[in-house]
Structure 1
Amino acid sequence: MFRLLARLLGFIIFAAALITMVHDGALSIAASELVITSLGEMWFAYSPPGLNLTQAIIERNIHPYLWDPIMLSILKSPAALVFMVIALIFAFLGRRRTKVRAGLDLR
Structure 2
Amino acid sequence: MIVGRIIGWIFLAAAFMVLGHDILQYLNTESWHSILLGELWYDLNPRGLNFMQAIIQRYVLAALWDPVITTVLLWPAWLDFLVPGIILVAIFHKRRNQKSSNFST
The TM-score by the shorter chain falls in which range?
0.7 to 0.9
C-alpha separation in 2, matches of 1:88 and 1:61:
31
Q: CA deviation at 1:97?
A: 4.7
Q: 1:20 aligns with which of 15, 18, 21?
A: 18
C-alpha separation in 1, matches of 2:19 and 2:31:
15
Confirm whether residue 39 of structure 1 aligns to residue 37 of structure 2.
Answer: yes
Aligned amino acid, residue 53 of structure 1: F
Confirm whether residue 10 of structure 1 aligns to residue 8 of structure 2.
Answer: yes
Q: 1:56 aligns with which of 54, 57, 73?
A: 54
SS in 2 for 1:35: coil
TM-score relative to the length of structure 2: 0.87
Q: Any unmatched runs of 5+ in structure 1?
A: 100-104
Aligned amino acid, residue 7 of structure 1: R
C-alpha separation in 2, matches of 1:66 and 1:53:
15
2:67 aligns with 69
Paired residues, what number? Answer: 100
How much is the aligned-residue C-alpha RMSD, in angstroms? 1.8
Q: CA deviation at 1:78?
A: 0.2
Q: Any unmatched runs of 5+ in structure 2?
A: none
Query: Percent same amino acid at aligned positions?
Result: 34
